[in-house]
Amino acid sequence: MNINATLLAQAVVMIVFVAICWKYVYPPILSMMKEREKRISDGLEAAKKADDSLEEAKLAFDKELNQAKAEAAEILEKANARASQIVTDASSKAEIEAEKIITSATKTVENETNKAKEELKKQMSKIIIDTTQKILDDEISEEKHNDILKKAAEEL
């Protein structure tokens, strides 16, 4: 083991290499690494923000969708109600109309029947009177005849 000037030479060489590293090697690499680190953290932050806004948009979309669904349901319900209303109205109108028709028809029928009855009565009375006149002939005066007619009509 012999110590000689190599020791001093190595110390000088070391100082030179450390100086080179200090001035030209270390700072650019470190600054590049720091820059990249910052870029990555910025990117992550931006991604997180985008994620958040996506979440927000999703929420807004869901809200809108639900609202639209509710509206649609409401409209549908209203339409249904209206439709059933119309049907009910129509059917009740029809019923009333039908009732009216029936009533009037019944009335007409009644009237006709009454009329026919009256006519029949009249004809019947006339036939009876005629027959009776023929039977009684002149025995009954005009006066009596009318009297009988009246009685018969009343009895009928």
Q: Which residues bind another protein (CB under 8 A)?
A: 1-11, 13-15, 17-18, 20-22, 24-30, 32-33, 35-36, 39
CA end-to-end distance (rounded Å), the chain:
169
**Nearest distance, CB of residue 60 and another protein, angstroms:** 34
104: which residues sit within 8 A by CB, 6+ positions away?
Answer: none
Of residues 30 and 59, the one with the C-beta less far from another protein: 30
**Nearest distance, CB of residue 61 and another protein, angstroms:** 34
Of residues 33 and 116, the one with the C-beta less far from another protein: 33
Of residues 29 and 50, the one with the C-beta less far from another protein: 29
**Nearest distance, CB of residue 56 and another protein, angstroms:** 29
Of residues 33 and 44, the one with the C-beta less far from another protein: 33
**Nearest distance, CB of residue 33 and another protein, angstroms:** 6
DSSP per residue over 29-77, as a string?
A: HHHHHHHHHHHHHHHHHHHHHHHHHHHHHHHHHHHHHHHHHHHHHHHHH
Type and span of the H or E element at 23:
none
Of residues 18 and 68, the one with the C-beta less far from another protein: 18
CA distances to 70, 72, 74, 75, 77 from 83, in Å: 20, 16, 14, 12, 10
**Nearest distance, CB of residue 21 and another protein, angstroms:** 4
Identify the DSSP state of 140: S
Instruction: Check residue 2 and give left, alpha or beta (phi > 0: left; psi -120 to 50: alpha).
Output: beta
